[in-house]
Every structure is written in C-alpha cells, then in structure tokens.
Amino acid sequence: MEARVIESIELWFQEAGSEEAVNFIDFMLFLNESAYSLLHRDTLHGIFTYQVRYQDGTSQSVSFDKDEWVVHERNEWQTGMSGGEWVWWLVERWRFVVEWWSGRDFRTGDVIEESFYGTIPYGEIQHLDVLLYSIIENDALNTKALIKEGYYHDPLLHEWIAIPDSTDSLRSLVLTFCYNEGILKIPRTIERIEVTFTDLTTGAVQSLASALEAYEKPADLDLDDMMYRDDMFYRDESIQGTIRYEVTYQGGRVQYVEHDKLEIFMDWDMAMINWFFEHWKKLYEAYAEKSFPSGRPLQRFESGYDYWKARLSPEAWDELIHSTDPFDQQRLTDKRPRDEIQRAKEQFEMMFNQTAELYLENLRHGFYVDQLLEQRIDVESSFDAVIALYKEISEAERKRRAREQLLYGKKDEGNLN
C-alpha cells in the first residue's frame, strides 16, 4: 500500500469579519486559551484551514467553517459534528491512533501501563482497543491490522498516511491541542455557575433546576421501582436536549460547556452534573476537612458509639439506644475508631485511582484540574459557587420528590435516599 508522509502540518484560522488568517496555535497562545475551549466557544466564528505539505513535495489545503455541520457516522448515536469539532478530531484521532500503534504515551513516550487510558471526563477508563474501536467503528477503510502495520486513512485529509514517518511532524500540533503546551495554566476562581436545559423538541430554554423540578415521571413507572432514581430525568429518552454550563470566573471571563442530556457515564450510570458534584464533594471534604455541602467540620471519634451519639438528633439517638434490632446494637457496641478526615482523604484518592498522586500534588498547591471545565481551579475560593449550584439543584429535586409523594403516595425511603 502506498501511504503518504506528512512533512509539515499547520492550522490557520480566519475569524469572521477579518481579512487575514492567523496561525491557530499562535492565536491560542495569544488568548491563553485551550484549543478545545476555543473550538467549542459559541461566540467564535470563522474558517479553519489545514495546510499540509507531504514528503513528495505536494501540498494540500482543507477548510471547514467552524459552524458547518459535517456528516460523519462515527457510530449509531454520533452521525456528525460541527466544523470546529471536526477540526479537533483530526488531532485527537492522531493522538489515539499513534498511542494504540506504539503502546506508548504520545507526550512522554512511556509505555502505557496495562494498555489502559483515561478518555472521558470524570474517571471513565477505557482499554486502548475499545478506544480504537470507537474511532474506526463504522470506518470502511481503517482496520486494526492496517494500523498495526503503520497505515492510517485520515477521513479529514482523505489520504492514507504512514504513521511512523508522520508522527514527528504532527507532534507540535498534538501537544498544543491535547496537552495545552504553552498555555499558562493560572488557577481560576469560579464566581458563579449557571446551568440551563434546552429542550430539543420545543426549543424552550430554562434553568436545569426548573427542568428537574417540573419533570414528571413516565406514566408506567412505579415510584417504588428500583429502576427509578434521582437521575431519571437524564435517563428519560422521551426528553431530549442539551445541558449548558455558563461558568463565570473572577475577572469576568466566561466559559461555556455543553453536552447532550442523554450523555450518561456507563460505569455508574450517572449524569455528567452528578459526576461534577461527586468530584467536588470529595474534593471539598478532603481539602477543607468539612462535610459537603453543610460545612460541618469533619471529626475523629474513638468508637462507633461516640460517632452515632454525635451525629444523630436527640430523638434518633434515643430511638437507637432503645432499639432491639441487631444492626442497631452492633452500631452501639462498635469499638472501632471513626476518622472522618482520613476517610475523606481515602475517598478522594480512590476517586482518581492511578492518577491520585498527581491530583494530590495539585491539591497541595491549592488547585484542582476539573475535567468537565478543563481548567485549573483555585479550590478554596471556588467552593461557594459550586455549593450554591449544588443547593439549587438539590432543592429542585427535593420539590419534585415532594410533589410526587403527594400525587402517588410515599415513595420507599431507601429508594428515595
């Protein structure tokens, strides 16, 4: 098979209303903003152009409007993407393909341990084989066998490319796009987070809290059914639309992050915003040593008896000490120490699994790289904004559950919690 060798590749961007195109990497560095953020920014419009020169002396130019819809049946639920996402995918695909072909991290060259690689925000881990399959699932040209031999057909360039001889030429682009090299990652303080839901059917836009509060369960769904959970709004396929985060940082910079409502994480079947809160809960409790969201200081107790006496209300404590239930008696006679602070730190480490040390080191310097926002966040000064959003969402869900109890009767308490 004859495959072409990329000698150089550059991405240029001509913003709408401008007469000149600029090198997109220079544009990124000037704005000090990641490629992913810029390509998904609603207020940025214009034309992207890849300028490619091959080893045989020929050249190629491929352009896409950032707002253009590109038909590409990557899999059954993703049949296309915007021009900006399409431009991003040329670089991101190359990173994954090279890592699968070589078995090494693109940036460091280190062997990827056990061929595992984190690919999705908030901790879902995918095997590299699964990741490659997700890229070439509906691809009529690329196969694992051909890629292993060093041949890859790029669907944006429409050319067969020699992987080993082209990787170095793509290196600068991949490092800047995927690893944000050259971007000054100054921790940002979140001042406010607003989350809205846009209904695909009606076009109506409302706060996510309002959508959650107004949500009505399917008529054939029993509230006591174990399939019913607090994330049912996200799982209900009869309601389609997008969830949009508008994050205002100290200094006035605003970031937008948008995803499909039905985008659920398969490991825990949790919605993206639930993962956002789950991470910040563990982060808050490990860093601030306080309970999320109440702010109650975490404590160390000599025994289970001391723990329950401190935690329960006087009425609940009186009920516990007079209970004949074996489980309650076990709690009263539990002599093991209860260290809430140590448990919070262990939970934080478990959440990040193999990358825990990196996150702990960041936390020692007072910042956290949030995977949804893809930003370094100053943790201590951002807690109030995250907690305010959590309380808003929680209150909406509480009101919905209260309404359901009035309409359908009291829901099973274990299921409710």
* Helix/strand number for the chain, H first, E second: 16, 20
Measure the CA–CA gap between 162 and 2, rounded to whole angstroms.
9
Measure the CA–CA gap between 172 and 176, rounded to whole angstroms.
6
HSE, CB side, 13 Å, CA atoms: give it for residue 329. 4
Q: What percent of the chain has pLDDT over 90?
A: 39
pLDDT above 50 (res 84)? yes
Q: What angle do CA 332, 335, 338 make, to 5 degrees?
A: 95
Taking only the tens place, the pLDDT of each residue in 197-207 is: 999 989 999 99
Greatest extent of the chain over all pairs of C-alpha atoms, in Å: 87
Average pLDDT, the chain: 84
Handedness of CA 63, 65, 68, 69 (dihedral sign): positive
Q: What's the pTM?
A: 0.59
The confidence score (pLDDT) of residue 116 equals 47
Task: Reply yes or no: is the peptide bond before residue 164 cis, omega within 30 of 0.
Answer: no
pLDDT above 70 (res 287)? yes
Q: Please enumerate in sequence order all residues whose Cβ is within 8 A of that of 289, keeping only pairs 6 or more positions apart, or say none.
A: 297, 298, 341, 344
Q: How confident is the model at residue 369 (pLDDT cuts 50, 70, 90)?
A: confident
Residue type, 83: G
The confidence score (pLDDT) of residue 124 equals 42
Range in 62-71, 248-257, 286-295 with the lowest mean pLDDT: 62-71
Range in 68-82, 232-246, 321-335 with the lowest mean pLDDT: 68-82
Q: How confident is the model at residue 230 (pLDDT cuts 50, 70, 90)?
A: low
Contact between 244 and 254 (Cβ < 8 Å): no
Measure the CA–CA gap between 239 and 201, rounded to whole angstroms.
8
Taking only the tens place, the pLDDT of each residue in 190-229 is: 999 999 999 998 999 999 999 999 998 777 666 565 555 6
HSE, CB side, 13 Å, CA atoms: give it for residue 179. 12
